């Protein structure tokens, strides 16, 4: 067998295994709860030849692939054929502990490069991964001895409805995107039916506008040969003019229907009729289904011819449900084959009953196929996930004790790091969606420059025009300039935050954005965390403290996002020294792999690390004149400390998070005029406190009666009769749970509605989070 013949045979094997995997999950494996298991036999089938050509024939170990979510079964089947997936995982597809519904870096055990699931995100991720690869290879400290990889996205045509795909195209054009291949599975069907006519022209025009190389894979080798026969030009013209819905319907109906339609519309009792007559119904159906996206020869030829200096998009015409009884039917998206249909497919694949899972069952030469797979360029015994050394931190960078805001302090801390000749400073990459200066990255960028593949002078500086910003672009620059799309920010952070695994070089990404607009990129943020990407996210300015900007720029729910987002530790420091300690800790936390158990283990994520989110403010407040000792630093990281410790007679606790520190202190002082038993709890991370509390509860449920959490220890000495007032410039639920820890009566203050313009004092009074409101709430809880 030739190389092409072998890959074509393995394509059918992957097609069978993927379909059997779904059928087994839905119809053979016991269903104990009656809930639909699901799977996408038709959407997966249309990708079988494309993925087989890539994995079996074209890809190298350094290439990285984002698989169309619904093609997950084909991916797992290919991995199984490579020997990188187990039978047990396939048998438990979509079951607990089995192969995942959609490819996952963190949940699957086979060789997933880029997680997919939320459509369009994996596609755009490949563009940013390519940019990050170029960024690393431009640095003098990087090891460039290994070959560059290509970032490959296998794209469902319906994914092109997602706006983030087009947002990333613009960024790719700006930064000279290369080494990127997108293969569009143009099966012209989506969940709700057949796509609109003329979509191809729009797709082509968009990619052409952004300087992509466009390769159209419309006709397979059988079709191209038929076009050379007498009458073939008329067959080609009919195919080109056929509406998508007609083509799909005829694919479902089969060879006899094709013969009737073609005979009626182009048959002439001459060349065309003879062309049709030379083929049986089965051969005619095979010919009309031989689109470019299903032709191994065409796919291999075009994939291998692709260059790397420009991004390339392949628009591969396919049939949804190709080579299955579901082919072409408009309802096939979630449809599944019946037992009779799967049995018919099994027989057509020469698979014996009882041998459905055998890796090489039905192939003419199993030994040759196994050897071919062993020799495939992509199939390497070495792990394709790299391990990069950790970067040493340099300790907290304290920036003075004068009145300041946490946002200003962030810029100063970063500038202090930038001044050092440390590996930490070299490995930081910053990025921001068009708000670099207003999120206090300006001094960092002036010192460390912007990244570009080639040197670009600052025209304003060259023309001697005064400007605080020195916008010098250079390959050694460390700030990646982005447009205003928050989705791009989180995709870029995700790609940079996986550089240690994808490319073997560790980066420490920092992304800044206006805190309320975290919600605009929340899907991509969740996606980055799901991949276990590591980055530091700075949300600033925040809350109604941004008084003059009005409700559109004031965040309310972001601390709750920080608490609920898996893979993200969130903090909201009030003071600059807290921020310094947290940032130093964050650079270490971002690099943890779980190999060693650190001291702060009351929160399980401390073992494995993750990303970090800091909610900062533009409001200047007084700073406490204090020395930062180890116990205080540890408590800041654990999530809270006593700013004013409780006395044995304490009857009131004021717990605040973030910028309302001054208001909490003022309220305590006002109450303290006639009472001396008011304590102040400074919360730096409701997320850390809450997670530690839940971890202790779980441990006690599992028999560890001695387990306790930081917040339980802090509140242990507060008399049960005492009242607790919580206050935050955000939704009150962020801290409202504190009363449940020890059963204290609690009054929760915060912001629940959109803000408006005004002074800080106006808005604090309006929402009841100022000093007077805190005092009133505290007095309402006092006894006697």
Q: What CA–CA distances, in Å, run from 655 to 532, 577, 659?
A: 32, 19, 12
Share of the chain above pLDDT 70, in %: 95
Indicate if the pLDDT at residue 126 is higher than 70: yes
Contacts for 134 with CB less than 8 Å, ≥ 6 apart: 175, 176, 178, 179, 453
SS (H, E, C) 518-581: HHHHHHHHHHHHHCCCCCEEEECCCCCCCHHHCHHHCCCCHHHHHHHCCCEEEECCCCHHHHHH
What one-character DSSP code corresponds to residue 683? E
Question: Residue 199's pLDDT is what?
Answer: 77
190: pLDDT strictly greater than 70: no
* pLDDT score, position 603: 60
Q: With a cut of 70, say whether residue 784 has pLDDT above it.
A: no
Instruction: Answer yes or no: are the C-beta atoms of 121 and 490 closer than 8 Å.
Output: no
Residues 6+ apart with CB under 8 A from 525: 490, 518, 537, 565, 568
pLDDT at res. 468: 67
> Pairing state of beta strands 678-683 and 640-644?
antiparallel
Q: How far apart are CA 65 and CA 113, in angstroms?
A: 6
Ranges 140-154, 387-401, 445-459: which has the least confidence: 445-459
**Chain centre to alpha carbon of residue 510:** 16
The C-alpha R_g of the chain, in whole angstroms, comes to: 30
- Which of the 8 DSSP states describes residue 293? G
Q: How confident is the model at residue 596 (pLDDT cuts 50, 70, 90)?
A: low
Element of type H or E holding 185: strand 180-186
pLDDT of 157 > 80? The answer is yes
Segment holding 66, helix H or strand E: strand 64-66
Report the range out of 291-300, 457-466, 754-763 with the highest average pLDDT.
291-300
Mean model confidence pLDDT for the chain: 92
Q: What is the 3-state secondary structure (H, E, C) of 414-447?
A: HHHHHCCCCHHHHHEEEEEECCCHHHCCHHHHHH
Q: How far apart are CA 494 and CA 118, in angstroms?
A: 14
358 versus 674: the higher-pLDDT residue is 358
pLDDT at 462: 66
* Number of C-beta neighbours around residue 234 at 10 A: 19
Label residue 111 by pLDDT band (50, 70, 90): very high
* Whether residue 193 has pLDDT greater than 70: no
CA atoms 47, 49, 52, 54: torsion sign: negative
pLDDT reported for residue 674:
53
User: In whole angstroms, what is the distance from residue 618 CA to residue 613 CA?
Assistant: 16
308 pLDDT band, cuts 50/70/90, is confident
Would the pLDDT of 88 be above 60?
yes
CA separation for the pair 250, 550 (Å, rounded) = 58
Helix (DSSP H) and strand (DSSP E) numbers for the chain: 35, 20
How confident is the model at residue 443, as a pLDDT?
94
Q: pLDDT tens for residues 727-742? A: 999 999 999 999 999 9
> Torsions phi, psi of 281, nearest 5?
-60, -40
pLDDT for 227-271, tens place per residue? 999 999 999 999 999 888 888 889 989 999 999 999 999 988 899
User: What would the pLDDT profile of 346-372 be if each residue is shown by its tens digit?
Assistant: 999 999 999 999 999 999 999 999 999
Is the peptide bond prior to 779 cis by the omega test (within 30 degrees of 0)? no
Identify the DSSP state of 208.
H
Q: What pLDDT is attached to residue 467? A: 67
- Say what the pLDDT of residue 456 is: 78
Tell me the pLDDT tens digit for each residue of 500-544: 999 999 999 999 999 999 999 999 999 999 999 999 999 999 999
| Res. 195 pLDDT band, cuts 50 70 90 | low
Other Cβ atoms less than 10 A from the Cβ of 334: the count is 14
pTM: 0.94
Could you tell me which of 434, 525, 451 has the C-alpha nearest to residue 485?
Answer: 434
Share above pLDDT 90 across residues of the chain, in percent, rounded to a whole number: 80
Structure tokens at 183: 């293969």
Confidence class of residue 623 from pLDDT cuts 50, 70 and 90? very high
Provide the pLDDT for residue 244: 82
Condensed to tens digits (0 to 9), the pLDDT of residues 370-418 reads 999 999 999 988 889 999 999 999 999 999 889 999 999 999 999 999 9
**What pLDDT does residue 466 have?**
67
CA distance 694 to 701: 11
């Amino acid at each position: 067998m030739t190389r092409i013949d072998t890959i074509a045979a393995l394509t059918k094997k992957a097609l069978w295994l993927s379909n059997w995997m779904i059928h087994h999950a839905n119809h053979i494996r016991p269903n104990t709860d009656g809930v639909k298991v699901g799977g996408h036999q038709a959407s997966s089938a249309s990708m079988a030849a494309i993925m087989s050509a890539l994995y079996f024939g074209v890809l190298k170990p350094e290439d990285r692939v984002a698989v169309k979510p619904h093609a997950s079964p084909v991916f797992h089947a290919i991995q199984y054929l490579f020997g990188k997936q187990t039978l047990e995982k396939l048998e438990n597809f979509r079951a607990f502990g089995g192969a995942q519904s959609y490819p996952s870096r963190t949940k699957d055990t086979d060789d997933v490069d880029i997680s997919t699931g939320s459509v369009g995100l994996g596609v755009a991720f490949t563009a940013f991964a390519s940019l990050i690869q170029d960024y690393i290879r431009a640095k003098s400290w990087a090891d460039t001895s290994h070959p560059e990889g290509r970032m490959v996205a296998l794209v469902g045509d319906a994914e092109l409805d997602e706006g983030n795909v087009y947002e990333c195209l613009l960024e790719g054009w700006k930064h000279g995107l290369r080494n990127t291949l997108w293969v569009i599975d143009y099966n012209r069907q989506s969940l709700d039916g057949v796509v609109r006519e003329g979509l191809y022209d729009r797709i082509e025009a968009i990619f052409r506008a952004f300087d992509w190389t466009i390769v159209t894979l419309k006709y397979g080798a059988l079709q191209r040969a038929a076009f050379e026969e007498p009458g073939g030009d008329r067959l080609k013209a009919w195919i080109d003019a056929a509406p998508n819905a007609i083509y799909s319907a005829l694919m479902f109906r089969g060879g006899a229907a094709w013969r009737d339609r073609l005979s009626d519309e182009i048959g002439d009792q001459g060349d065309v009729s003879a062309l049709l007559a030379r083929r049986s119904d089965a051969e005619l159906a095979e010919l009309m289904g031989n689109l470019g996206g299903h032709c191994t020869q065409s796919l291999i030829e075009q994939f291998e011819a692709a260059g790397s200096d420009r991004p390339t998009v392949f628009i591969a015409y396919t049939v949804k449900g190709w080579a299955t009884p579901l082919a072409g039917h408009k309802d096939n998206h979630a449809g599944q084959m019946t037992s009779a249909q799967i049995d018919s497919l099994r027989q057509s694949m020469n698979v014996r009953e009882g041998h459905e899972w055998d890796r090489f069952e039905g192939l003419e030469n199993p030994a040759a196929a196994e050897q071919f797979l062993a020799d495939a360029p992509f199939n390497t015994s070495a792990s394709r996930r790299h391990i990069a050394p950790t970067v040493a931190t340099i300790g907290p960078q304290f920036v003075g004790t004068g009145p300041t805001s946490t946002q200003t302090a962030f810029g100063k801390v970063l500038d202090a790091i930038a001044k050092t000749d440390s590996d930490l400073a070299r490995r930081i990459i910053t990025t921001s969606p068009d708000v670099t200066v207003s999120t206090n990255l300006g001094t960092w960028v002036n010192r460390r420059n912007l990244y570009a593949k080639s040197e670009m002078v600052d025209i304003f500086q060259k023309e001697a025009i005064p400007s605080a910003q020195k916008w010098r672009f250079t390959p050694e620059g460390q700030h990646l300039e982005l447009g205003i799309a928050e989705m791009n920010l989180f995709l870029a952070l995700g790609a940079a935050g996986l550089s240690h695994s994808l490319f073997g070089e560790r980066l420490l990404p920092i992304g800044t954005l206006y805190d309320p607009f975290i919600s605009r990129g929340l899907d991509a943020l969740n996606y980055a965390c799901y991949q276990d990407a590591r980055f530091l996210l700075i949300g600033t300015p925040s809350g109604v403290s941004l008084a003059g900007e009005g409700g559109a720029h004031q965040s309310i729910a972001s601390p709750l996002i920080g608490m609920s987002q898996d893979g993200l530790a969130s903090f909201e420091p009030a003071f600059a020294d807290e921020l310094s300690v947290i940032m130093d800790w964050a650079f270490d936390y971002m690099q943890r792999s779980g190999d060693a158990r650190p001291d702060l283990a009351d929160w399980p994520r401390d073992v494995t690390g993750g990303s970090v989110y800091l909610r900062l403010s533009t409001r200047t407040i007084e700073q406490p004149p204090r020395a930062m000792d180890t116990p205080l630093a540890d408590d800041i990281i654990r999530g809270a400390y006593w700013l004013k410790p409780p006395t044995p007679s304490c009857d009131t606790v004021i717990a605040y998070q973030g910028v309302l520190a001054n208001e909490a202190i003022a309220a305590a002082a006002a109450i303290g005029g006639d009472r001396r038993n008011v304590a102040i709890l400074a919360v730096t991370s409701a997320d850390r406190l809450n997670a530690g509390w839940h971890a202790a509860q779980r441990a006690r449920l599992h028999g560890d009666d001695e387990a306790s959490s930081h917040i339980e220890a802090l509140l242990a000495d507060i008399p049960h009769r005492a009242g607790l007032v919580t206050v935050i410039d955000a939704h009150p639920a962020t801290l409202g749970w504190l009363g449940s820890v020890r059963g204290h009566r609690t009054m929760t203050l915060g912001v629940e509605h959109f803000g408006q313009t005004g002074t800080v004092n106006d808005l604090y009074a309006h929402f009841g989070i100022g000093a007077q409101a805190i005092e009133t709430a505290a007095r309402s809880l006092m006894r006697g």
